[in-house]
Every structure is written in structure tokens, then in C-alpha cells.
Amino acid sequence: MRLIECVPNVSEGRRADVVAAPVQAIRSVDGVRVLDASSDPAHNRSVFTMAGDAGPLKAAIVALVGAAAARIDLRTQTGEHPRLGAVDVVPFVPIDGVTMADCVALAKDTAAEVATRFDIPVFLYEDAASSPSRRNLEDIRRGEFEGLAAKMTSPEWAPDFGPPRPHPSAGAIVIGARMPLIAFNINLATDRLDVAKKIASAIRHSSGGFRFVKAMGIALEDRGIVQVSINLTNYEKTPMHRVFDAVRREAERYGVAVLESEIIGLTPQAALVSAAEHYLQLARFSSAQILENRLRDS
Amino acid sequence: MRLIECVPNVSEGRRADVVAAPVQAIRSVDGVRVLDASSDPAHNRSVFTMAGDAGPLKAAIVALVGAAAARIDLRTQTGEHPRLGAVDVVPFVPIDGVTMADCVALAKDTAAEVATRFDIPVFLYEDAASSPSRRNLEDIRRGEFEGLAAKMTSPEWAPDFGPPRPHPSAGAIVIGARMPLIAFNINLATDRLDVAKKIASAIRHSSGGFRFVKAMGIALEDRGIVQVSINLTNYEKTPMHRVFDAVRREAERYGVAVLESEIIGLTPQAALVSAAEHYLQLARFSSAQILENRLRDS
């Protein structure tokens, strides 16, 4: 099985009929499964989660851009969430039987097709980025749609595909490839917020910790405890067990115990299997030994 | 998804055309996937692994018994493996979305149908057994086909379904329900066989250890190390992590470290996820949070 996840973000979360069009567009593509569609009126944004192989996903994104760009005009769109385009961001995420390189190739292929067909500029980001300054979505999106025309006059912000100026109503699209993100929180058996903040600081990349960890310390007021709230942006290179053990050791230094951890939302199977392999010291294990995988692939 | 595994054992492993007939019979049933078919000429026995929901599996076993009983005559069959019937053993194993009670019901339902249709006596075993003395396959099979007619004259060995005597050529069938079995070996960083044997003795049920552990200590001559070789017969009630930690602690008592562990063959996903949950102290986790499961069920 070759399985890629794709999570397009569209800049419309209020008008049901406008949201329905791109959903209908992706649902109509054979080989694409739509797992989730959620709209946020305050953000005026919708996020669709779908999965499939490269060919069907590319077709689905082309259909989605056609449906969304025809109905969303950023000149009149407002909302809390920053955005650059009618279709704002399209990440491809490797799940099973595909590499990151496959997803980067798919991102570029899709970007070229969309830019040509709809005359919309496309920027590549994350693992598909054409330079380090374009890896972060926030850097590309800074200034938003309203500042885009001026931003694109700089050679530094020439698009990777398409015309050297925003589409009048649909702006630009950011397309890329990234690892699945795991929201992994670790709750401490204490109400000392300073301890959670110190541990978050110790493990996160921005202050000297693990390369693929974003973290902050927060209070869970209703439970009288604190939490190290973690985003793991690459569970293969910075695995859950390493982060968990580091948090436990840091907490011990303050005389604090780990109460529990939790995963919010979805996680790839491999992230959990990798933890089991680590702690059980499993050697020579293959995911093909998991009965459900064997059944699925047979 | 409702998923049950079924692993029928047939008393023919030499004549390819005779083995082909029951394989063809189960393959022809819609909703059944045949994952494996392997024959052992010395044992004169074939083992088929298939999966599906209850209805299709019942139909497949009825078809398989029809095909096998018409071609295998135990009066002339010989081989190293003990056997009671042309179709010897049929275990149903709960994998996903089904309970053990579902598999017990399926075993009884299939047993009744097979006994009536083919006039073959059926004994129920393991979780489907009608009394504790019939739980173990070895007890039911003791005396084999050759001793079966005499054995069945005792009221203690009246069949659960079908006639009170063996079928002339097809003998009897043992049908039941059991948990998936995990072959889980733990290798020690030592060549001291006595240590492996003492640890095996400490953890196995028969000598005072965990309820669902069978274990023995063996030497891996070519690697110069020893192994605690383990069969886990119920990973839900005796989980891998508990056995692993016990082996590690027992080994420490002899100044020996665990080198690695290994899983031979297949394991249900849940056994690994349960280990990850334990060591990461995961709270409120559901298997529906595993991306692959979500994709499969969507």
C-alpha cells in the first residue's frame, strides 16, 4: 500500500455552500478518501483531511483549487486566521509505503499543474522548499494576501511556479511536504507551572533541546496540575520515547513525577510501534509482522 | 471492521491435488481472505490462515470440511503429527471489533453445521470448551484417530455435536476459540543456560509464573547466548511489557542483562500499542487515534 495524507486549508469557513464545493470536488476523485472536513467561522477557514496515492491526490488538489478559486475572493474575505490564498496551504504527508522524497515530488508536480492551469503563483515550503528561507510557512505568509503584491516585487519572493504576481482574487498557494505532526502532552504530578516551563525549555529545539520538538509549559487549572505541551514535528528523528524519558529525567531533578501522557488527535502507527520496539528492546522487527498490516496488504 | 482469524489444520501435507481442494474451497468464499497456506510432508499436515467476518468464515469451514473429508481417509493416512480427523483442528481467533464471546458463538455455530451436514462428531476446545477437561487440545486428541472409537464409548468423551462415534474415514473435528498467540523470545547477554532455564521457570504458568505464559530456556549455540523462549497465549491478560520487565528483573538477580527481544511471526497491533501505552504512561488513548486504523475504517 502506498499512502499519503493531504490536509488542504481553504480560506472559507462561514458560507456552507462555498465550503461544500471543494469538498464535493475532492470526494468525486476515485482513490481519494476524505477523512475529515471541519470549518471554523471565526477563522473563516476550513481544513480537509484526505488520503490516497499520489495520482489521485494530485487530481483532487487540482479539482479543489478549481472549485475554491472560483468562489473565494480574498479582496473581501476576512477572518482571524492569516492567509495568502483562497486555497492557502497544501501539505503532503508520507504515511505508509512512501518516502518524504515521494511527497516532495508530488508537491512539485501538483504545484506546477495548479500554477499553469489556474494562473496562480505557488510557493513550496517545508521539505519541498527551494531554499532554507522558505521552509517555514510563517515566513512565506508574513504580510498576508494584502501585502503579497508588494512582497512579490522582490526577487527574493519570486514564486516557485506560476506568474510573478498574486492572482487577483485567489492570491497564492503554499504547497509542500512534511512529516505527520504528533500532539503529545505530558502531565506532571504537580501544580508548579515553573517546573513545566523549565522542562519545556529544556526539550524544545528553539532553546537548545531536540531538533523536532516544539514545547511549552501550561497550567491545567481545573485539574490542579501542569502540562508540558509538545508538538513532535518528526517522530522518526525525534521519537516519542526519547522525549518522554527526557521529560521524566528533567522532572526528577525538581522532585516531580510524570503523572501521565496523552496523544491529542491522530498518530501514525509507526510512532507507537517504535516506542514498543525501544522499551521492549525488540530486534529485527518489521511492520509486516503486525497482523492488521498483513491483512490490509493481502 | 469485524475481523476474525481462522487457522484450520488439515491432515494432508503430501498430495498437492488433495491439499489444493480445500484451499480452493475457502478461496471461493466471498469475504474470506486466505493469508497463508503451508504444507509439511513429514507431518503430513497443512495449515491454512484466513481472515474475515463470522458469516464468511463459517461458510469457508463448511466448504473446507466438505472438500477435505471427501479426499482424506485417516484409515490409511500416516504422518508425524498427531491427528483425530481429516480436518483436525479449527480455531477462531478474535482480532478486531469482535469479542472472544463472538468467536465462541461462531465456533459452536460452525460445529453444529458441520456435524449435521457431514455426520462428523465435533469436540469444542479452549474458550469454547464445554468443560475444563476439554480445554486443552492435547487431552482431546490423546489416543488419536486410531483410539477414537474406543475413547468415544466413554460418556466422558461424548462429542459436543454430531454422532457418538467417529466418522469412518474423516474421524472427528476439534473446533474452538482462542486468543492470538504471540511467540516472544528474550535473548540474554550471557551463555549461561542455567540462567535462561531459571528465568523461564520463574515466569511460566506451569511452575508458578504468569497465567498465560509458556516458557523454556534454550541455548542459541551459533550466537553464544541463551534465550528465554516464550509463548504468550493471552496478551491482553498477560501483556508483553509485564513479562519483559519480569525477565529483566530476574536476569539482574544473576548479574545478567537483556540483550534484545524478538517477535517470531505475527502479532496483533494491540499487543504493541499496549506496550507503548504502558511505558509512555499514555492515558485515554484509543486505537481509533491510529491514523492507519482511521483510514482503514473510513
pTM greater than 0.90: no
d(CA A234, CA B23): 44
pLDDT value at position B38? 87
Residues A94, A4: contact at Cβ < 8 Å?
Answer: yes
| Core vs surface per residue A73-112: b (16+ CB within 10 A) or e | ebeebebeebbbbbbbbbbbbbbbebebebbbbbbbebbe
Shortest CA gap A280–chain B (Å): 7
pLDDT value at position A298? 62
pLDDT at A11 over 90: yes
pLDDT value at position A80? 87
d(CA A198, CA A269): 30
Give pLDDT tens digits for B210-259.
Answer: 999 999 999 999 999 999 999 999 999 999 999 999 999 999 999 999 99
Q: Does A282 contact B at CB distance below 8 Å?
A: yes
d(CA B287, CA B278): 14
The arithmetic mean of pLDDT across residues A90-99, rounded, is 93
Pick the closest to residue B31 from B9, B66, B63 (CA basis).
B63
Residues B217, B199: contact at Cβ < 8 Å?
Answer: yes
For residue A282, what is its C-alpha cell?
Answer: 525488540
A278 is catalytic: no
For residue B71, what is its C-alpha cell?
Answer: 479426499
Q: Does A35 contact B at CB distance below 8 Å?
A: yes
Question: What is the percent of chain B where pLDDT is above 70?
Answer: 99
Give pLDDT tens digits for A22-51.
Answer: 999 999 999 999 988 889 998 899 999 999
CB-nearest to A275 from B267, B280, B295 is: B280
pLDDT value at position B295? 79
**Residue of chain B minimizing CA distance to A294:** B35
For residue A178, what is its C-alpha cell?
Answer: 512534511
CB-nearest to B284 from A262, A273, A281 is: A262
Pick the closest to residue A67 from A9, A28, A23 (CA basis).
A23
State phi, psi for B119 to the nearest 5 degrees.
55, 45
- Assembly ipTM: 0.80
pLDDT value at position A146? 97
For residue B244, what is its C-alpha cell?
Answer: 519483559
Residues B81, B45: contact at Cβ < 8 Å?
Answer: yes
pLDDT band at B298, cuts 50/70/90? low
d(CA B113, CA B54): 13
pLDDT value at position A233? 93
Residues B97, B2: contact at Cβ < 8 Å?
Answer: yes
First to last CA, chain A: 10
B-chain residues near A261 (CB < 8 A): 280-283
Q: Which residues pair with A186 in a beta bridge?
A: A228, A261
Of A91 and A97, the structure prediction assigns the larger pLDDT to: A91
For residue B59, what is its C-alpha cell?
Answer: 461458510
A-chain residues near B223 (CB < 8 A): none
pLDDT at A58 over 90: yes
First to last CA, chain B: 10
pLDDT band at B296, cuts 50/70/90? confident
CA B126-B127-B128 angle, 5° bins: 90
Residues B230, A280: contact at Cβ < 8 Å?
Answer: no
Name the strand (E) or helix (H) holding A151: helix A144-151
Q: Would the CB atoms of B283 and A262 count as touching at under 8 Å?
A: yes
Shortest CA gap A4–chain B (Å): 11
